[in-house]
Amino acid sequence: MSFDELFEKIRNRIKELIDEFEEEIRELEPMWTADGVLEPLVSIERYPDKYVVVIDLPYADFETLTLSIKDHLLIIECALKKEIAFERWGAYREIKFKRYHASIKLPRDADIENTKIEKDNVRRMLRLIIPRIKRL
Amino acid sequence: MLKLGRPRRTISYERLLIHEYFDPYEEPVPEYIVLGLPDAGLVGSIASKYLVMSKNLKLVGEIDSPAYFPPVAVVHEKTPMSPIQVYSSNDRKYLLILSESPIPVQAVYPLSYTILEYSREIGVKHIISLAGIAVPNRLQIEKPKAYWLASTKESANLATKLGLEELKEGFVVGPYGIILKEARRRGINNLTIFVESFLDLPDPESAAVALTILSQILNIEIDVKKLLEEAELFKLQTRELMKQTRKTMAEMQKKYEMQMPLMYQ
């Protein structure tokens, strides 16, 4: 392995560690904001040739769904079918949840250009199949 | 009015406290303890919460621990209480233990032993655990399959009439695994029902399958129609619990369950 290849490998690993650290910080944050935005649950399965990302969007109105990708960040926006409030939820009962927003940091070897998207309209779930780029 | 006052009795096992608000020895003594702890797909948690709501089960106890649990009180109907609660059916046929927060890794063994000792103390015949078993292609599965595993012949007898497949090889990670192996060593009847589920997304459909099987075991009617109709609401309400449970599952190395054990064939 040449010096450049080794350097690139180390650089990628450091980036991955920073991503993992940021993810741990995010774990401590609530999954909603006071202005009615929900963060969906996201499950990422890693296979040798692809990533499968499943996004759970209960009450989502898929007609309003938008997905965009910027710098390995997958951004999902989707309105709820109706505004939802939890009247018995103590100090937060007046919050009306209106939409989902998620920024999902994808692994660096994700071939985002070739992402395949499947919608499950009954369960209100999205499945993204993202091929992996072969690395050094 | 508060839902609970002062406990009638507090028992201590393994630095955990069980606060009782009922007399467990009064006839009829409960035959079963149903367990719904946060695990893969929150199958047990969703199933048990739905059972409490649909059967209007009575809150009769709490499990707490200053040694093992984070300093948390959950408030229901103006009453502060432990996230781990014990409910009873109106006919006292079964008790149900559910947890509204993940079981910390260091609490898994003591809590498992406590549940086993308590079931022996009050003379329960069987502990029935409702669990999810993560499968990678869950989104493609229309009807999740269920498996069972028992600690004794008596508990196995409960399962054989259900026509489900027995779990023959594999790993079970978390409190359900500890309860199963320790129940076998202590000769306590434990039957665990594993329903195929998502690993880290709430799975009300799998919870409905678990409840349908439970209804056959307990010989009671459980209508899961409302659970399926309100699946989206359950998923919305359990997102934070799932997120926290994901973290504890990672700490417990839950992905072990997907690994192949050493087998002869």
Structure tokens at B139: 């989104």
CB A30 within 8 A of CB B240: yes
- Chain A hits for B205, Cβ within 8 Å: 123
Calpha distance B15→B110 (Å, rounded) = 8
pLDDT at B204 over 60: yes
pLDDT at B8 over 80: yes
CB neighbours (10 Å) of residue A35? 10
- Structural Rg of chain A based on CA atoms: 18
Q: Which of A28, A44, A56 would you mutate first to test chain B, the one with the most B CBs within 10 A?
A: A56
- Say if CB B162 and CB B189 are below 8 A apart: no
Q: Please give the average per-residue pLDDT across B202-222, as a whole number.
A: 96
- Identity at A89, one-letter amino acid code: W
Reported as a pLDDT band with limits 50, 70 and 90, residue B9 is very high
pTM: 0.89
pLDDT at B152 over 70: yes
**Mean pLDDT value across residues B88-111:** 96
Closest partner CB to B232 (pick from A59, A86, A127): A59
* Chain-chain contact of B232 with A90 (C-beta, under 8 angstroms): no
List chain B residues with CB under 8 Å of A86. Answer: 237
Q: Which residues of A48-58 are buried (b: 16+ CB within 10 A; e: fewer)?
A: eebbbbbbbbb
Given a contact cutoff of 8 angstroms between Cβ atoms, the answer to whether A77 and A101 are in contact is yes
Distance of CA A105 to the CA centre of its chain: 6
Closest by CA to B58, choosing from B100, B30, B16, B27, is B30
Domain ranges of chain A: 1-30, 31-131
Task: Compute the distance between CA of residue A24 and CA of residue B152 in angstroms, rounded to an integer.
Answer: 41
Q: Count CA atoms within 13 Å of residue B242 on its CB side.
A: 27
Is B200 close to A58, i.e. CB distance below 8 A? Answer: no
Question: Computed over its alpha carbons, how large is the radius of gyration of chain B?
Answer: 17
Residue-averaged pLDDT of chain B: 93
Query: What letter would DSSP give residue A88?
Result: T
Q: Which residue has the higher pLDDT, B171 or B204?
A: B204
Q: Chain B residue closest to A123 (CA)? A: B232
Each of the 136 residues of chain A gets a pLDDT tens digit; together they read: 788 888 888 888 888 888 777 777 666 678 888 889 999 999 998 899 999 999 999 999 999 999 998 888 889 999 999 998 888 787 778 889 999 999 988 888 899 889 999 999 999 999 999 999 976 5
**A60: closest CA among A87, A97, A105?**
A97
Query: Which tokens hold the place of B30?
Result: 């409960």
CB A51 within 8 A of CB A45: yes
Task: Give me the torsion for CA of B170, B174, B179, B180, rounded to 10°.
Answer: -10
pLDDT value of residue A8 = 86
Q: How far is A3 from chain B (nearest CA, A)?
A: 35
| Residue B15 identity | R
Place of tokens 């409910």: B87
Could you list the beta-strand ranges (E) of B69-177. Answer: 74-76, 79-81, 84-88, 94-99, 126-134, 146-150, 165-166
Under an 8 Å CB criterion, which residues of A touch B? 27, 30-31, 38, 40-41, 43, 45, 54, 56, 58-59, 84, 86, 90, 120, 123-125, 127
Q: How far is A64 from chain B (nearest CA, A)?
A: 18
> What is the structure's pLDDT at B2?
66
pLDDT at A135: 63
Helices (H), chain B: 43-54, 105-122, 153-160, 175-186, 204-218, 225-229, 231-237, 239-251
Taking residues B72-91, report their average pLDDT.
94
Q: What is the mean pLDDT of residues B62-70?
A: 95
User: Which DSSP category does A99 fall into?
Assistant: E
Which of A26, A27, A41, A78 to mutate to probe the B interface, most B CBs <10 Å?
A41
Please tell me the least confidently modeled range out of A14-23, B61-70, B87-96, B201-210. A14-23
Query: Which residues in B have their CB inside 8 Å of a CB on A?
Result: 75, 136, 139, 198-202, 205, 231-233, 235-237, 239-240, 242-243, 247
pLDDT category of residue B191 using cuts at 50, 70 and 90:
very high
> How confident is the model over B174-187, as a mean pLDDT?
96
Residue of A nearest to B248 (CA): A27
Residue B80 Cα distances to A33, B72, B98, B103, angstroms: 25, 10, 16, 19
Yes or no, beta carbons of B235 and A31 under 8 Å apart: no
The answer to whether residues B52 and B44 touch, using CB atoms and an 8 Å cutoff, is no
The reported pLDDT for the residue numbered A18 is: 82
Q: Which fold has domain A31-131?
A: Immunoglobulin-like (2.60.40)
ipTM score for this prediction? 0.86
Q: Which residues lie across from B128 on neighbouring strands?
A: B34, B191
CATH of the domain spanning B9-256: 3.40.50.10900
Q: Which DSSP string do the residues of A17-79 spell out, in sequence order?
A: HHHHHHHHHHHTS-SB-TTSEEPPEEEEEE-SSEEEEEEE-TTB-GGG-EEEEETTEEEEEEE
